[in-house]
């Protein structure tokens, strides 16, 4: 039992493995164990921070990773043991369908992208209503007026809140959460051709995970936003505006008030599943969502 115990605890921080979601350079992964050549088993975070094993002066550049203990600590029987860092905050803001502005919804639901005059009208409507979620910006930055007109409409888009998991009103299952969002690209006047845009956001107590990807074809193939086949579309200033302003909206709403970290995820480590959607589904399952 002592061997098993050592195999599921980090030699450095002494925390149980596989209990938190970590993101690095836009990749999502689990905090899995890594065994160094010295025999110590470290969690991914400690191994990354120490660049190997600090206790035995073993660097990751010259050290060998042994897979035996890693496999033991990652076995299915241990996967759901211990505490995951996936707690939700019950007081985070959320808009119900009754709270979404119907006039703004009509403007953004039109077949074509809304023109600037209609966006200005939507902006003035929300300004008159003193919609706090729409007008929560980030500090010390000036937003171009045209982008401000689009930005304030974000939380009023059709299906927007289906993609957001918060403690106050979690989605019942993942189907709608990972479904394509055609309204956000249209708001920013983005055409993706044969591709469809997807995103979802997990608002947790200590961190926020915002994942984005695309699909193509009748039997959807998952493509990361850095896929070369998407470059024609993702390299455009309009598409970059989607990523920028969605990320900043999430930051303004949920990060700054509580000091949490926003992790923007564009792909997953191969060890976490065949695609980013598999990693998202796993995360949803750990958050006790129906999958």
From first to last of its 291 residues, what are the pLDDT tens digits of the chain? 565 666 677 888 887 776 678 888 899 988 877 878 787 888 888 888 888 888 888 876 555 566 666 666 566 666 655 566 788 888 898 998 889 999 999 989 888 889 999 999 999 999 998 888 888 876 667 888 999 999 999 999 999 999 999 988 877 678 899 999 999 999 999 999 999 999 999 999 888 999 999 999 888 899 999 999 999 999 999 999 999 999 999 998 998 656 788 999 999 887 777 889 988 988 888 887 876
Calculate the alpha carbon distances from 287 to 84, 152, 259, 281 in Å.
9, 29, 21, 10
- Give 188-192's long-range contacts (Cβ < 8 A, gap of 24+): 188/150, 188/238, 188/239, 188/241, 188/242, 188/245, 189/113, 189/238, 190/233, 190/236, 190/238, 190/239, 190/241, 190/242, 191/233, 192/233, 192/239
Show the tokens assigned to 100: 């979404």
pLDDT of residue 62: 52
Q: Which residues of 96-123 are buried (b: 16+ CB within 10 A; e: fewer)?
A: eeeebbeebbebbeeeebbeeebbeebb
pLDDT of residue 138: 66
Show the tokens assigned to 8: 């599921």
Calculate the alpha carbon distances from 81 to 5, 52, 78 in Å.
12, 26, 5
What are phi and psi for residue 108, nearest 5 degrees?
Answer: -85, -10
Show the tokens assigned to 54: 């600090």
Alpha carbon distance 157, 213 (integer Å)? 19
**Domain extents for the chain?**
2-79, 102-286
Place of tokens 């927007």: 160
Alpha carbon distance 142, 149 (integer Å)? 13
């Amino acid at each position: 039992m002592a061997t098993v115990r050592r195999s599921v605890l980090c030699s450095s921080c002494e925390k149980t493995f596989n209990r938190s979601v970590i993101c690095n350079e836009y990749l999502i992964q689990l905090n899995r164990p890594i065994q160094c050549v010295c025999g110590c088993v470290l969690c991914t975070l400690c191994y990354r921070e120490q660049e190997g094993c600090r206790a035995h002066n073993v660097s990751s550049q010259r050290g060998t990773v042994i897979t035996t203990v890693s496999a033991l600590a990652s076995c299915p029987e241990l996967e759901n043991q211990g505490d995951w860092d996936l707690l939700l905050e019950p007081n985070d803001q959320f808009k119900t369908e009754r709270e979404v502005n119907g006039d703004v919804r009509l403007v953004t639901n039109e077949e074509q992208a809304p023109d600037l005059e209609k966006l200005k009208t939507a902006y003035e409507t929300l300004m008159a209503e003193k919609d706090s979620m729409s007008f929560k910006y980030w500090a010390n930055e000036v937003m171009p007026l045209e982008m401000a007109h689009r930005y304030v409409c974000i939380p009023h888009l059709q299906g927007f809140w289906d993609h957001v998991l918060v403690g106050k009103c979690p989605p019942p299952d993942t189907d709608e959460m990972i479904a394509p969002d055609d309204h956000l690209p249209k708001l920013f006047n983005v055409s993706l051709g044969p591709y469809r845009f997807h995103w979802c956001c997990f608002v947790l107590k200590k961190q926020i995970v915002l994942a984005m990807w695309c699909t193509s074809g009748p039997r959807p193939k998952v493509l990361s936003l850095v896929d070369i086949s998407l470059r024609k579309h993702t390299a455009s200033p309009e598409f970059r505006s989607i990523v920028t302003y969605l990320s900043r909206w999430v930051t303004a709403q949920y990060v700054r008030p509580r000091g949490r970290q926003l992790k923007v995820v564009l792909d997953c480590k191969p060890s976490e599943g065949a695609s980013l959607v598999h990693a998202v589904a796993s995360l949803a399952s750990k958050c006790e969502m129906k999958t």
